Amino acid sequence: MHVERTFTVPRPVDAVFDYLSDFTSTNDWDPGTVETRRTAGDGGLGTTYRNISEFMGRRTELQYETVAHERPTTVQFRGRNKQATTRDTLTFAPSASGSGTTVHYRADFDFGTLGNLVAPILLRRKLEKLADEVQAEMERVIPEKVDA
């Protein structure tokens, strides 16, 4: 199961990549994040993070790792706990006007064999709503946090 969004922000590709490739930025733009902190690494490939999020009234902790880091086009994070594995992929390209960045955000969820059968029925709407909120927050926060 996955959700994805594409949007444009008025900031340069390199700067947007640098900001979003640091997963601690979820503290700024992910409404479900309670806290993300770096646990190891320099921000590049192999960097790890501890993320505590709240979803549907429950707190959960995931350990994330940067599994792709191709500046300035692609960054991917894999999150894991006993219940789920997530993969957050962000790709970046100059906007059509050339004055900003088009961001494509995709979040994939694996809840295990049984969980994957019921997740689309139980979680689809809630995850789509969360994806809408994430996009809105990124569009709001990136111009504030990233220099032009």
Residue 109 pLDDT class (50, 70, 90 cuts): very high
Beta bridge partners of 110: 85
Mean per-residue pLDDT, 24-40: 97
pTM, rounded to two decimals:
0.94
Show Cβ contacts of residue 70 under 8 Å, excluding neighbours closer than 6 positions: none
| The pLDDT value given to residue 121 | 85
Going by pLDDT thresholds of 50, 70 and 90, the confidence category of residue 98 is confident
| Three-class HEC string of 72-91 | CCEEEEEEECCCCEEEEEEE
| Per-residue pLDDT band at 84 (split at 50, 70, 90) | very high
Q: Is 113 exposed, middle or buried (0-12, 13-18, 19+ CB in 10 A)?
A: exposed
pLDDT digits (tens, 9 = 90+) for 49-78: 999 999 889 999 999 999 999 999 999 999
User: Residue 122: its pLDDT value, please?
Assistant: 84
d(CA 140, CA 131): 14
CATH architecture designation of domain 2-145: 2-Layer Sandwich (3.30)
Q: Tell me, what's the pLDDT at 116?
A: 80
